Amino acid sequence: MSDVADPLSIGVLGYGFMSRAHANALARLPMFFPDAPSTERAVLVGRNADAVETAASRLGFAATATDWREVVDDVDVFYNLGPNHVHADPSIAALEAGTHVLCEKPLARTLDEAAAMRDAASNSDAVAGCGFNYRYVPAVRLARRFVEDGRIGDVRQFRGQYLQDWLADPDAPWSWRLGEDLAGSGVLGDFGAHTIDLARFLVGDSAGAIERVSGHLQTFVEARPAPDDEGTRPVTVDDAYTAQAEFDNGAVGTFEGSRYAHGHENDHRIEIHGSAGSLSFSLERLNELRYADSDDRGYERILVTGEDDPYGEAWWPPGHTLGWEHAVVHENYEFLRSIAAADPFRPSFEDGYAVQRVLGAIERAAERGDWVAVDEITDE
C-alpha cells in the first residue's frame, strides 16, 4: 500500500505474547506520546478463526483474517509477530506491496532468508524494522550515551548473558521454538540474537564490528512431551550456547544463553568494560544502570527514571519505575515516527541480517570446534 493514510492502519500477524505487547503499545501511544502518528488496529491475522476472533476482541482489532496474503497489501503497516518460519514470506510480500513492516527477531531462520528480507527492504520505499526491543529500554539507551560520550573510555570487553528457566523441567511440553524447521535455532537465535544486537548497538561504533567468534551449542533434553499428549517430539535445536568474540579494535566479548538456569526468569545481563570505566545492566532490574569510573570505588547505581533520562519526560515522576512493556511502547513510537517522516528505522533489516551472520558464524564455529571469521558467513 503505497499511499499512507491518517490514521495508519495496522495489520498484525499472530495473537500470542508479542501481539499483546504491541497492541498494548499502540493503545498507550496517544496517552503518553502525543506527537506519535495516530493508528488504528485494523486487522489481526491467525490460522485459527475462533481463536483469532477472541484475541481481536480482547486486543481492540476491528477485523480478523486467517491468511496474511489478504492483509499485507491492504494495510499501511504490517507487524510480523509470528513464529520464525513465517518471518520471510509475509514480510517480503508486504514490502513488495509498499507496506511498512516491523518483524520480530531473529529476522529469519537462516542467512539466506535474512538476505532475501534485507534485499526486499532495500528495494522498497517502505520502512522495515527488526524487533530488537531491548534497544528501547531507557537504561540501555543511557548506557549507549555513556559509551558515546567517552565515560568508560575505549571499550575493552563486552559480556552478554541471557538466562531463563522455563525449560529447566525436562517434562515441559514441546513447542515450535524447539524445532529447527520452525525456529531455525534454539537459544542461540532466540536469546543470542538480542545479545549480539546489543553488542552492536552499545559498542559497535567504539569497538568496531564483531570480527571472529568461537561457539558451543548443547541440547540437554533430546525429546519432550508432544503438546497434543501424543507421545514425544524431538528437540532439534540448542538448549544453551556459549561463544567468544573478538571485535575489530581487539576488544573481547563473551556471549551465553540458556533456558535451563534455575532462578532466572528473564535475566538479560550486559557488562561493558572500558579503559576508563565500566557499565552493568540486568533486565530483571531494568530501571537501573550501574556505572564505575576509574577511581576504583565500585559501581554507582543510577536509577534511570528522571525527566532527562531517555523517554523520561513521557512517563511518571522520577522514581516511579517503568516495566518491560514500556520498551515496546518506545519501539512502536520510534518505528511509527520513522514512517511518518519517511526516515530509515534502526534496527533495520540490515541490522537483523548482520546479527544473523554472527549467529551463523557461531553455529559454524561450534561445528568445527574452532574460531570462525564472520566474513566467512555469506548468503552467496
Task: Give per-residue pLDDT as tens, 174-187.
Answer: 999 999 999 999 99
What pLDDT sits at residue 230? 83
What pLDDT sits at residue 2? 42
DSSP β-bridge partners for residue 147: none
Map out the domains of the chain as residue ranges.
8-133, 138-285+287-322
pTM (2 d.p.):
0.96
Distance CA 159, CA 253 (A): 6
Left if phi > 0, otherwise alpha if psi is -120 to 50, otherwise beta: which for 20? alpha
What pLDDT sits at residue 229? 75
CATH superfamily of 8-133: NAD(P)-binding Rossmann-like Domain (3.40.50.720)
Look up residue 205 and give its three cell numbers: 561504533
What pLDDT sits at residue 4? 53
Q: Which residues, other chains included, contact 254 with Cβ-Cβ below 8 Å and sequence gap of 6+?
A: 158, 159, 160, 242, 243, 244, 245
**C-alpha pair distances (Å), 333 with each of 49, 94, 107, 329:** 30, 21, 20, 6
Per-position DSSP letters for 71-121, written without gaps between them: TTTTSSEEEE-S-GGGSHHHHHHHHHTT-EEEEESSS-SSHHHHHHHHHHH
Fold (CATH) for 138-285+287-322: Dihydrodipicolinate Reductase; domain 2 (3.30.360)
For 118-158, the pLDDT digits (tens) are 999 999 999 999 999 999 999 999 999 999 999 999 999 99
Strand 100-104 to 232-234 pairing: unpaired
Counting as low any pLDDT under 50, the low residues of the chain are: 2
